[in-house]
Chains A and B, each alone.
Chain A
Amino acid sequence: MIHFVLLISRQGKVRLTKWYSPYTQKERTKVIRELSGMILSRGPKLCNFLEWRGLKVVYKRYASLYFCMCVDADDNELETLEIIHHFVEILDRYFGNVCELDLIFNFHKAYYILDEVLIAGELQETSKKSVARVIAAQDTLIEHAKEQSNSLSNIIAQATK
């Protein structure tokens, strides 16, 4: 299973974290510090796997962002590597040429999308189309609610005039 997902920028800033195994606040900070040090210092032509505390970290760099997933030592590494790519493709499709800035200002969207790709540290949906459909439906729901509340507040505003 995937124990956690980390998105770290080249400067070591955290862009997204998701923990599927119970880590306390302290442990989370420590893990991030330890791993970002190890991963950022690795050269470009090395393999995408890192052995770490009896687990394996599978990571891949996309432009300025490192996508990391920590899996069990006997999990299939290449499979995990492609889960990362699958996630990135979905982000790309949603944002249209996704860049780090998209994920900074819309970090909550990234969390929505991740929740449609992974649950319980396991891959939930392998069809990009299907994920896109679900996210679009969510966006509509939220838009809809916003319009409603806008019109509602308009009514209230007018009533209290």
Chain B
Amino acid sequence: MALSGMRGLSTFISDVRNCQNKEAERSRVDKELANIRTRFKNDKGLTVYEKKKYVWKMLYIYMLGYDMDFGHMETVSLISAPKYPEKQVGYIVTSCLLNENHDFLKLVINTVRNDIIGNNETFQCLALTMVGNIGGRDFSESLASDVQKILLSNSCRPIVRKKAALCLLRLYRKNPDAVNVDGWSERMVHLLDERDIGVLTAVMSLLVSLVAKSQDAYWSCVPKCVRILERLTRGQDIPQEYTYYGIPSPWLQVKTMRVLQYFPAIEDPNIRKSLFETLQRILLGTDVVKNVNKNNASHAVLFEALALVMHLNAEKEMLSQCVALLGKFIAVREPNIRYLGLENMTRMLLVVDVQDIIKKHQAQIITSLKDPDISIRRRSLDLLYGMCDVTNAKEIVEELLQYLTKADFGIREELALKAAILSESFATDLDWYVDVILQLIEKAGDFVSDDIWYRVVQFVTNDEHLQVYAAAKALDYLDKPAVHETMVKLAGYLLGEYSHLLARRPGCTPKDIFDVIYDKFAVVSIGTKALLLSAFVKILLHSQPQDPDLRERVLEIFKRYECSVDAEVQQRCIEYLTLCAKGPSMVDIMAEMPKFPVRQSALLKKAGDAERDVAEESATKLRVQQQNSTALVVVEPQSNGAGPPILTPSAAPVQKKQASPSDLPPSAHPAALPVGNGHTEVSAVTAEDVSVPSLPEDPVTEPTPPPEPAPAPSGANLLADLLAPLAIEAPPGYAAPDSIVDSSQDPGPSAGTSGLAPMQSSGPADALALALYDGPSTKVQPIGSVEDWFNALVIKDSGILYEDPFVQIGIKSDWRGIQGRLVLFLGNKHNASLTNVRAVVLPPPHLRFKSSPVPDTIPPRAQVQCPFDVFCLRASRETAVLEFSYNNGNIPVSAQLKLPVLINKFLQPVTVSANDFVARWRALAGPPLKLQEVVRNVRPMPLIEMANLFNSLHIGVATGLDPNENNIVSATTFYSESAQATLCLIRVETDPSDRTQLRLTVGSQDLTTTYELMEYIKQQLIDTPPPTMVSPNVPTTIPTNSELTGPAALLNGLI
């Protein structure tokens, strides 16, 4: 055993180790600290050796977990020592004891810089290491250029340069300007030629960070990276010392593939080919071996290769090869591989084509749900959750329910929430959904949050067919001997509302039901009691004629609790007593609750919050997006009436219970019964309401926020949902997050208290339109027209999406088949940081978005990029909406912006020969595959301009096909997942004498595509502003083709 070389230090360590207990240790440590303190105080007599020894002792004591509130100065001062041994101790201990924000570090910046630029190589290394480990912004500002020089220098040895590369990486992380110099990307390209693998590894780490933030400047690194990877996998000229268990630097391989994952698909066919060959070699050539380290290393490379294949969106064949591999992995015994198999399969769900193949492994995944390892169980839960759809929901939810009783506490809440969400999203019948939730409460009541049962109430209220079933079930469950309080709440509420529907069944008289509920009354909390009181009064007033016995018992309870110490209970009792005294005229007040406006499930938001802890591309995120979209469909003004109704599976339950305010029964129920979140919401029937008999005209009291804080981030919306049972005011889901409705249309903030009248006048559609098209509602206004920017982006691939005095959002897009990549450039124009930055895409159901996280804060004058991948599932004219918000200081700004992801982006013009065109045109018989319509009020434009417009919309104009010079025919391919590539044929016949009307014919093999494309073109012809790229000087040379022979003539005769 090597000794420390410092006797005092070794003795001290032995002493501490010999201490019998914690107290003895503490007293030994305190003694030592006192000693060090005194020695440091008169530091005159201190030799460097002693100083060094004490500093090491301090670090040791610090490691033991004791606070170190002195001696930092002495430590830092060792950095300035002239000799290597002291300097080394100073640098190393400083970087362990202090963190980057410590003020003392500022004192040594100069010394550190001198060491870095000096010519003592060992000092250079020490300084670069410390700056690399704890350098902060100050270091970045003063040292970045020196570090760059070392990295690029020819005279420095590799040992210094690799440290410089990583040091620069640290400085870049602290301050992106550290490499903000002209031509840095070329230098990076040059650095990739490095022969020393150590330096190359460090440079590759730096490159990963650089391209993670913005890959644009580094495209020229791609071919080099592919070559490096190829070289490594072939094992060409790799020094022996850089192989690890026979594998050429697995770390460098992983990093190189990481870099490539930040670039969208590679276009150059040669590079692409060579990359795919390399990947193929990794996929096929990795075997399971005995040596655990070799196995780990080769699988580290393999999993990175899988990730890259997924990212590149390779051919289906290669992807299914990947799924097959993953399927093998999730079945192995080795826990690490199984864990990673599950994790990567979840990631794979984001890739379109493979969901069906993944489903084949369902049984295996369910087995992993019972694994002894919590890490594996979590992965498996996440995967099951992600792969669930209508076809397998019942099975998966059933498994989750079974597992719930055995699951450990750490995972139960998440499990319950996920089961609730899945049953809600994929219920084929709502009876099943109610069954699941009731079972959930029965099995794990403690872990079922209130949101879950509120959601049941919303569904049951909005679906008449469900009410009888739910009430009967609730009665069954409540009648059991030991019932969880959440069950009492839910059942109590449901029975209060709907038990009268059961009246004809045996054993379901109001009195029987009252007895069942009253049985639990004594043991529940005060909040639940309040809720049950409401149920009692409803049961009583719903029963006609009233059972005098029941009446007596109910009134007796009210009287007993009239003096309750709880104000809420007291108030309810008094109000209900008064109501009962008023007699049958008050029955209307106790009518059933009106339907709820459709809103996004609070559960999904909650899941999203909880999931921030889990992997980035978690399946929940995906779900939140999908779900958002369905919520949007319901209210999107144009989409509802026009298009053929497209129901995605996940949309089904939401649509079923769709209820707009106009669906409310005419006999409004302004005095909603206070129910639901019993102890938190304010009684709707306030004292004064009772005293005024003309209740129906009075507005409902505004609900006060519940005292239990909702999970912070989604506060506003969640709050709105928490208040759900009272929500007769304008639908909160759409006005949120910053009550756009309030500031513009409704009569001020008190609008929340509005009864029915104001709501009907504004309506959710208006609120939404406002939210979508007018941008932010607060003082910060966009400097320009959001609509104009959007319109420009419809026909261009890059431009401005939004700009206000503080922030600018640019967009750049790239489209390929069914897939597109959008990059949002969020630029902070301001001198202060923008915080709480959120950019969430609410995709309509026909699009799938794969987003990357948006940083929470944008530093002053900085720009961040957020790439999104978009997949088109089918044709639709709906637009995706970007919910963008940030805080400038304390002022929250938010905007809802339409994203220019429209049908035309997925079009690609094709050239079709005249014969072919005619043949296909003829094959499309008529509606619904071929639609024709005379469009009026067209914006008049010369034919050439219209042709240009078509071209810019990717609807290629086929000149010369149509003999009539006033007509335009075009052929284009529409790419979507559902219909794959659909050839669309379009013909426009204009009338030279009246440019405001034309006849439009659109045909394709897919009726949805035909319809949507038709509508879209109409929109463009009527709405769009003059396309800017058409210069007015273009001579109006109309393609002439007057010969009426051959195919042209044929065509003419045909159409």
The distance from the CB of B629 to the nearest CB of chain A, in whole angstroms, is 25
Which residue among A32, A120, A149 has the maximum number of chain B CB atoms within 10 Å of its CB?
A120
Alpha-carbon distance A53/B378, docked complex (angstroms)? 14
Are A86 and B244 also in contact (CB < 8 A) when A24-B99, A46-B335, A125-B198 are? yes
Q: Which residues of B contact A15 (CB under 8 A)?
A: 63
B802 at the interface (CB under 8 A from A): no
Q: Which stretch, B38-46, B163-171, B946-954, touches the partner chain A?
A: B163-171
Q: Which residues of A contact B2 (CB under 8 A)?
A: 95, 102, 105-106, 109
Select B297's contact among A78, A104, A146, beta carbons within 8 Å.
A78
A160 at the interface (CB under 8 A from B): no
Are A47 and B338 also in contact (CB < 8 A) when A78-B297, A149-B49 are? yes
B92 at the interface (CB under 8 A from A): yes
Whether B613 contacts A53 by the Cβ 8 Å rule is yes
Q: Which residues of A contact B84 (CB under 8 A)?
A: 141-142, 145
The distance from the CB of B80 to the nearest CB of chain A, in whole angstroms, is 16
Alpha-carbon distance A128/B3, docked complex (angstroms)? 23
Alpha-carbon distance A45/B670, docked complex (angstroms)? 62
Alpha-carbon distance A63/B133, docked complex (angstroms)? 29
Q: Which stretch, B248-256, B581-589, B894-902, touches the partner chain A?
A: B248-256
B interface, CB within 8 angstroms of A: 1-4, 10, 13, 17, 49, 56, 59-60, 63-65, 67-68, 83-85, 88-89, 92, 95-96, 99-101, 122, 128-129, 132-133, 136, 159, 162-163, 166-167, 169-170, 173, 197-198, 201-202, 205, 239, 241-242, 244, 249-252, 254, 258, 293, 296-297, 299-300, 303-304, 335-336, 338-340, 372-373, 375-376, 378, 612-617
Select B300's contact among A78, A102, A108, A145, beta carbons within 8 Å.
A78
Whether A126 contacts B201 by the Cβ 8 Å rule is yes
Whether B63 contacts A105 by the Cβ 8 Å rule is no
Whether A141 contacts B122 by the Cβ 8 Å rule is yes
Whether A76 contacts B304 by the Cβ 8 Å rule is yes
Whether B372 contacts A46 by the Cβ 8 Å rule is yes
Whether B96 contacts A47 by the Cβ 8 Å rule is no
Whether B99 contacts A49 by the Cβ 8 Å rule is no
Whether A82 contacts B375 by the Cβ 8 Å rule is no
Contacts A47-B336, A120-B167, A122-B166 aside, 7 further interface pairs with beta carbons under 8 A come to A18-B96, A18-B133, A47-B339, A79-B304, A105-B3, A112-B88, A120-B173
Q: Which residues of A contact B336 (CB under 8 A)?
A: 47-49, 77-78, 81
Are A25 and B201 also in contact (CB < 8 A) when A46-B335, A77-B336, A119-B167 are? no
Alpha-carbon distance A112/B163, docked complex (angstroms)? 14
Are A83 and B613 also in contact (CB < 8 A) when A48-B336, A126-B242, A142-B85 are? no
Whether A129 contacts B241 by the Cβ 8 Å rule is yes
Count A-B pairs with CB separation below 8 Å.
196
Q: Which residues of A contact B56 (CB under 8 A)?
A: 108
Q: Which residues of A contact B88 (CB under 8 A)?
A: 112, 138, 142
Alpha-carbon distance A137/B375, docked complex (angstroms)? 43
| 18 A–B contacts from the bound complex (CB under 8 Å) | A13-B64, A19-B96, A25-B68, A32-B65, A45-B372, A47-B338, A49-B375, A74-B617, A77-B300, A78-B297, A79-B251, A82-B244, A102-B1, A104-B17, A107-B63, A109-B4, A124-B198, A142-B88
Alpha-carbon distance A90/B1011, docked complex (angstroms)? 68
Alpha-carbon distance A137/B198, docked complex (angstroms)? 18
Q: Which residues of A contact B239 (CB under 8 A)?
A: 127
Q: Which residues of B contact A141 (CB under 8 A)?
A: 84-85, 122
Chain A, 125-139, contact with B by CB distance < 8 Å: what is the 0/1 string?
111111000100110
The distance from the CB of A150 to the nearest CB of chain B, in whole angstroms, is 10
Q: Which residues of B contact A51 (CB under 8 A)?
A: 375, 378, 613-615
Query: DSSP class of B's interface residues: helix, strand, loop or mixed?
Result: helix
Whether A120 contacts B166 by the Cβ 8 Å rule is yes
The distance from the CB of B304 to the nearest CB of chain A, in whole angstroms, is 6
A40 at the interface (CB under 8 A from B): no
Q: Which residues of A contact B17 (CB under 8 A)?
A: 104
Output the nearest chain B residue to A42 by Cβ-Cβ distance.
B373
Whether B375 contacts A145 by the Cβ 8 Å rule is no
Q: Which residues of B contact A99 (CB under 8 A)?
A: 1
The distance from the CB of A87 to the nearest CB of chain B, in whole angstroms, is 12
Q: Which residues of B contact A20 (CB under 8 A)?
A: 133
Select B251's contact among A22, A107, A123, A129, beta carbons within 8 Å.
A123
Select A134's contact among B159, B170, B339, beta carbons within 8 Å.
B159
The 7 A-B pairs of least Cβ separation, nearest first, read A78-B300, A47-B335, A120-B170, A119-B132, A46-B373, A119-B166, A127-B241
Alpha-carbon distance A54/B68, docked complex (angstroms)? 29
Whether A82 contacts B293 by the Cβ 8 Å rule is yes
Alpha-carbon distance A155/B63, docked complex (angstroms)? 38
Q: Which residues of A contact B293 (CB under 8 A)?
A: 82, 85
The distance from the CB of A44 to the nearest CB of chain B, in whole angstroms, is 11
Alpha-carbon distance A149/B86, docked complex (angstroms)? 12
Whether B122 contacts A106 by the Cβ 8 Å rule is no
A159 at the interface (CB under 8 A from B): no
Alpha-carbon distance A32/B62, docked complex (angstroms)? 13
Whether A123 contacts B612 by the Cβ 8 Å rule is no
Select B92's contact among A83, A85, A108, beta carbons within 8 Å.
A108
Q: Which residues of A contact B4 (CB under 8 A)?
A: 105-106, 108-109
Q: Which residues of B contact A17 (CB under 8 A)?
A: 63, 96
Alpha-carbon distance A51/B616, docked complex (angstroms)? 12
Whether B376 contacts A127 by the Cβ 8 Å rule is no
Alpha-carbon distance A19/B375, docked complex (angstroms)? 24
Whether B92 contacts A111 by the Cβ 8 Å rule is yes
Q: Which residues of A contact B67 (CB under 8 A)?
A: 25
Whether A104 contacts B13 by the Cβ 8 Å rule is yes
Whether B376 contacts A47 by the Cβ 8 Å rule is yes
The distance from the CB of A65 to the nearest CB of chain B, in whole angstroms, is 14
A157 at the interface (CB under 8 A from B): no
Whether B3 contacts A19 by the Cβ 8 Å rule is no
Whether B101 contacts A22 by the Cβ 8 Å rule is yes
Output the nearest chain B residue to A112 by Cβ-Cβ distance.
B92
Alpha-carbon distance A95/B1, docked complex (angstroms)? 7
The distance from the CB of A91 to the nearest CB of chain B, in whole angstroms, is 11
The distance from the CB of A45 to the nearest CB of chain B, in whole angstroms, is 7
Output the nearest chain B residue to A25 by Cβ-Cβ distance.
B67
Alpha-carbon distance A108/B56, docked complex (angstroms)? 7
A62 at the interface (CB under 8 A from B): no
Q: Which residues of A contact B136 (CB under 8 A)?
A: 22
Whether A78 contacts B339 by the Cβ 8 Å rule is no
Q: Which residues of B contact A86 (CB under 8 A)?
A: 244
The distance from the CB of B1051 to the nearest CB of chain A, in whole angstroms, is 55
Are A73 and B92 also in contact (CB < 8 A) when A14-B64, A50-B375 are? no
Whether A78 contacts B340 by the Cβ 8 Å rule is yes
Whether A43 contacts B372 by the Cβ 8 Å rule is yes
Q: Which residues of B contact A53 (CB under 8 A)?
A: 613
Alpha-carbon distance A24/B100, docked complex (angstroms)? 10
A16 at the interface (CB under 8 A from B): yes
Alpha-carbon distance A49/B375, docked complex (angstroms)? 7
Q: Which residues of A contact B612 (CB under 8 A)?
A: 54
Alpha-carbon distance A109/B110, docked complex (angstroms)? 27
Output the nearest chain A residue to B297 by Cβ-Cβ distance.
A82
The distance from the CB of B947 to the nearest CB of chain A, in whole angstroms, is 47
Alpha-carbon distance A14/B617, docked complex (angstroms)? 34
Q: Which residues of A contact B1 (CB under 8 A)?
A: 95, 99, 101-102, 105
Q: Which residues of A contact B85 (CB under 8 A)?
A: 141-142, 145-146
Whether B299 contacts A78 by the Cβ 8 Å rule is yes
Q: Which residues of A contact B92 (CB under 8 A)?
A: 108, 111-112, 115
Alpha-carbon distance A25/B98, docked complex (angstroms)? 9
Alpha-carbon distance A112/B87, docked complex (angstroms)? 13
Alpha-carbon distance A77/B301, docked complex (angstroms)? 11
Alpha-carbon distance A111/B88, docked complex (angstroms)? 11
Q: Which residues of B contact A14 (CB under 8 A)?
A: 63-65
The distance from the CB of A133 to the nearest CB of chain B, in whole angstroms, is 9
The distance from the CB of A127 to the nearest CB of chain B, in whole angstroms, is 4
